[in-house]
Amino acid sequence: PYKVPLDPRGLLELSWNVSYPKQVVHFQLLIRDLQFGLLFGMSDRGEFENADLAVLWSDGHNSYFGDAWSDAKAQLHMDSQQDYQLLRAWRAPEGLYLLFRRAFSTCDPKDYLIEDGTVHLIYGILEKPVHSLQAINISAIHRGLQRVQLLKPNITIPKLPSDRKIMEITAPDVVIPSQETTYWCYMTELPEGFPKHHIIMYEPVITAGNEALVHHMEVFQCAAEFDTFPHYNGPCDSKMKPDRLNYCRHVLAAWAMGAQAFYYPEEAGLAFGGPGSSRYLRLEIHYHNPLVFKDRHDSSGIRLYYTATLRRYNAGIMELGLVYTPVMAIPPGEDAFVLTGYCTDKCTQVALPAAGIRIFASQLHTHLAGRKVVTVLARNGREQQVVNADGHYSPPFQEIRMLKEVVAVLPGDELITTCTYNTQNRSTATVGGFGIMEEMCVNYVHYYPQTELELCKSAVDPGYLHRYFTLVNRFNDEEVCMSPQVSVPQQFYSVPWNTFNKDVLKALYGSAPISMHCNKSSAVQFPGQWEKQPLPIITERLQEATPGCLPAP
């Protein structure tokens, strides 16, 4: 049921299914223009070193299929335990099909563990015959990577009502710019006097032939406080883009490559239209065009299914994690620096209804340095369950994911969001903020029934951060600019990042009081004392599940 193009030309097409009872994935590869074989596999972040691979190769006379792995120098080796099982291979007019299976977990140290979240799939095309597996030179072949969520949730698809209507929000025959990355913005509007409806499902509409170029798409609703928004159709980063478009940030739909249709639970829908809701919508499309095709026309977008028969609950979207502020920073040269944002018991106590809320989907978000994101639900100091986790998170690949099971959050519960960052290629501190070289740590959770709570996030108390800079000054020969006129980012940029200063910053973030943002949609805080709040105390952590293994066939 799941399908994704692997390469930008669309020569390799992967389909797959997932069996949770058997803990296996079946892969079907369509190779449209087979030459002398191909490599297909998985690795931690899409690299070809230390990868787990299924290889089809030909010496010009015979063809071979095997489970292989690559070492730290990208040299291929046949795996002593063959865990990719070839089930069938057949030719069809459109190309060669390979059908093979692989268990989630094999207990083979050379194999990749297939788990929830993003998986980096890699491929390589063999254009010449090879006399052995070891003779394949990975650096010399045509190769690439594709990110997908392999383990889709096994949920029953709700039935759509008979009075459903359809609205397509699509780009108006855009010529995709001949450059690698483009974010395209298009403004459109709902009809005059459009009454309140519930969105109950949406799916992508992709122009035939552009499946490998349309990377992800989002539909945003504009802020209701402005009566009108200017029309615009052009790159989002253009000088010509009107500033007012920055006020169109309320997500109605988000799709990323490899994602399926998104369904709301039967008892909830996302409200749009009617009084107090803007008629103006912004479509944003990320085109990924690494082969720099010219003159490709595109009318892709998102198809909304909606109904006038309102469901029992309005669905809402809430932001968890860290406030966008420079007080949360990551030192340079770190391979796994952790920052945590809290939605505290005090906030859920005042803001959630007595019966609580149900989270059914989640979209994780960081900028370029993010490597892992996880949100955990805690109750009375004990971690209860993972809301959403991605141990191979990749910033270019952000989709709204339906959760395997709905998570109930009650008043007094805590939602703790932790992000892990890699700044090994940076020479100065990375501060929190909106810029692409600044960082974020956010989980947009989709839930029902909708409440007034739109943002439940934290950051370290600024007074304690000031003490950190004072301490750094005392211990170091180099002066850190401390005058009140100097901004927090400037202070971070002037810190000499030795082990001591890094460790003390880690300790500060792990123990200092926090400033809580417990906000209604209008950026007004709920009543309460939100400054200098103690960090939530967790007395019992969730146990990491150790994956069992199927005996190798």
Pick the most confident of 259-273, 327-341, 434-448.
327-341
| Interval 19-48: pLDDT, tens | 999 999 999 999 998 999 999 999 999 999
Mean pLDDT, residues 464-475: 91
Structure confidence at residue 475 (pLDDT): 85
Q: Spot the catalytic one: 2, 365, 464, 493.
A: 365
Mean pLDDT, residues 189-202: 96
Is the pLDDT assigned to residue 551 strictly greater than 80?
no
* Spatial separation of the C-alpha atoms in residues 87 and 478, rounded to whole Å: 65
% of the chain surpassing 70 pLDDT:
97
Q: What phi, psi does 133 have (nearest 5°)?
A: -60, -45
Pick the most confident of 219-228, 395-404, 469-478.
219-228
Q: Do domains 2-148 and 316-520 have the same CATH topology?
A: no
Q: What is the CATH number of domain 316-520?
A: 2.60.120.230
Fold for the domain defined by 2-148: Immunoglobulin-like (2.60.40)
Structure confidence at residue 466 (pLDDT): 93
Structure confidence at residue 257 (pLDDT): 77
Kindly provide the b/e burial profile for residues 369-381, where b requires at least 16 CB atoms within 10 angstroms of the residue's own CB.
bbbbbbbbbbeee
Mean pLDDT, residues 542-553: 70
Active site residue 183: yes
Mean pLDDT, residues 236-252: 90
Is the pLDDT assigned to residue 482 strictly greater than 80?
no
* Spatial separation of the C-alpha atoms in residues 303 and 264, rounded to whole Å: 14
Q: What phi, psi does 250 have (nearest 5°)?
A: -85, 110
Is the pLDDT assigned to residue 552 strictly greater than 70?
no
* Spatial separation of the C-alpha atoms in residues 496 and 486, rounded to whole Å: 17
Could you tell me the pTM of the whole model? 0.88
Structure confidence at residue 553 (pLDDT): 52
Single-letter code of the amino acid located at 98: L
Is the pLDDT assigned to residue 75 strictly greater than 90?
yes
Listed residue (351, 531, 334) closest to 456, CA to CA: 351
Mean pLDDT, residues 305-327: 95
Q: Spot the catalytic one: 2, 64, 97, 183.
A: 183
Structure confidence at residue 17 (pLDDT): 95
Token digits of residue 41: 């596999």
Is the pLDDT assigned to residue 76 strictly greater than 60?
yes
What are the extents of the domains in the chain?
2-148, 164-311, 316-520
Single-letter code of the amino acid located at 21: P
Report DSSP state, residue 380.
T
pLDDT band at 536 (very low <50, low <70, confident <90, very high): very high
Token digits of residue 551: 């005996």
Mean pLDDT, residues 231-242: 95
Fold for the domain defined by 164-311: Jelly Rolls (2.60.120)
Mean pLDDT, residues 67-71: 96
Structure confidence at residue 325 (pLDDT): 94
Contacts of 395 (CB under 8 A, 6+ apart): 366, 367, 368, 369, 370
Contacts of 543 (CB under 8 A, 6+ apart): none
Mean pLDDT, residues 132-147: 92
Is the pLDDT assigned to residue 485 strictly greater than 80?
no
Terminal-residue alpha carbon distance, the chain: 25
Structure confidence at residue 351 (pLDDT): 96
Structure confidence at residue 250 (pLDDT): 83
Mean pLDDT, residues 494-511: 95
| Interval 246-305: pLDDT, tens | 899 888 898 887 777 899 999 999 999 999 899 999 999 999 888 899 999 999 999 999
Q: What phi, psi does 309 have (nearest 5°)?
A: -80, 100
| Interval 82-120: pLDDT, tens | 999 999 999 999 999 999 999 999 989 999 999 999 999
Is the pLDDT assigned to residue 242 strictly greater than 90?
yes
Is the pLDDT assigned to residue 478 strictly greater than 90?
no
Is the pLDDT assigned to residue 309 strictly greater than 80?
yes
Structure confidence at residue 374 (pLDDT): 97
Q: How much is the mean pLDDT over the chain?
A: 93
Report DSSP state, residue 432.
B
Is the pLDDT assigned to residue 66 strictly greater than 90?
yes
Structure confidence at residue 409 (pLDDT): 98
Listed residue (84, 94, 102, 92) closest to 10, CA to CA: 94
| Interval 382-412: pLDDT, tens | 999 999 999 999 987 878 899 999 999 999 9
